[in-house]
Structure 1
Amino acid sequence: MTTHDYSIELTWTGNTGTGTNSYRGFSRDHEVAAAGTETILGSSDPAFRGDATRWNPEQLYLASIAQCHMLWYLHLATQARLVVTGYSDNPTGIMIEEATGAGQFESVTLHPTVTIASGSDPAVAEELHERVGDYCFIARSINTPIHHEVTVHVR
């Protein structure tokens, strides 16, 4: 078994002078960094007093699922000799917030649009999306159901 270690730096930058003295008295702004990468400016969702011009954890959650799915899909396509020439996705997620303020994602739907070379099998292009969940580290680590609404174009 191989292990991989990951680390980031998370720094809250939202102290407006009084810390967390009151719920409305501080900013949710923060920075996410890792060695060798650009800093991600983060906040909470505007519904939770965040800054809409910064990434929020819910968007990053969707991004991590979609990125992992795409990368494994491309890997599986190579193994299946499926020639992918284009890939894009517009993932969506539904999060349920309880009256207590706690919440969780009810579902995530990936909407990949895949372009394959002439001579590649569109049925294989669709089927591979179902297999990705067996390999994607993120999908295997969460309990949110992930659905796929795939569009395949043959070039």
Structure 2
Amino acid sequence: MAEHHYTVTATWSGNTGTGTSGYRDYARSVTLEVSGKPRLLASADRPFRGDPTKWNPEDLLMSALAECHLLSYLHACVTRGVIVTSYRDEATGTMVQEGNGGRFSEVVLHPRVTVADAAMIDDAIAAHHDANEWCFIASSVNFPVRHEATVTVG
């Protein structure tokens, strides 16, 4: 069994002068850093007093699920002999707020895939099942990650 380790540095930059003296007295600004990569400016989502122009944890979770499925899907297509010429996903997610916390109840991926030949469509559709099983991120969450894919020939 192989292990892979990841490190992210999260630095709060939202002290407006009085720290966390009150709920409305600080900004939710965060800088996320991974060595050798561009910094990512993040915040809380707007309903939680965050900056809507910055990435928030919900955006990042959705992005991780969408990208992981995409990368797993491309690999599944290679193993099935499917030539993908384009892929675009507009993922949607539902989060339910419960008191001071909350949880995602589901994420639905909506990949629009173009393949090189009509004979590849059935395998291209089946590859989404493989990708869903192989995606490390989808396997790590406690809510359903579904996909409603469209496959066309380019």
- TM-score tier after normalising by the smaller chain length: over 0.9
Task: Please give the secondary structure, in 1, of the residue aligned with 2:137.
Answer: helix
Equivalent in the alignment of 2:102 = 103
Equivalent residue runs for 1:72-151 within 5 Å: 72-98=72-98, 100-151=99-150
Unaligned runs of 5+ in 1: none
Amino acid at match of 2:92: T
- Provide runs of 4+ in structure 1 moved above 4 Å: none
CA deviation after TM superposition for structure 1 residue 10, in Å: 0.5
- 1-side partners of 2:118 and 2:79: how far apart? 16
- 1-side partners of 2:109 and 2:128: how far apart? 10
8 A Cα contact 1:95 1:103, kept in partner: yes
- 2-side partners of 1:50 and 1:15: how far apart? 13
- 2-side partners of 1:91 and 1:83: how far apart? 22
8 A Cα contact 1:83 1:120, kept in partner: no
Equivalent in the alignment of 1:154 = 153
CA deviation after TM superposition for structure 1 residue 87, in Å: 0.5
Q: TM-score, normalised to structure 2's length?
A: 0.97
Unaligned runs of 5+ in 2: none
CA deviation after TM superposition for structure 1 residue 119, in Å: 4.5
CA deviation after TM superposition for structure 1 residue 128, in Å: 1.1
User: CA offsets per residue over residues 70-116 of structure 1, 9 Å max, x none?
Assistant: 00000010010000000010101000001x22100000000000000
Provide the aligned length of Structure 1 versus Structure 2.
154
- Cα RMSD after superposing both structures: 0.9
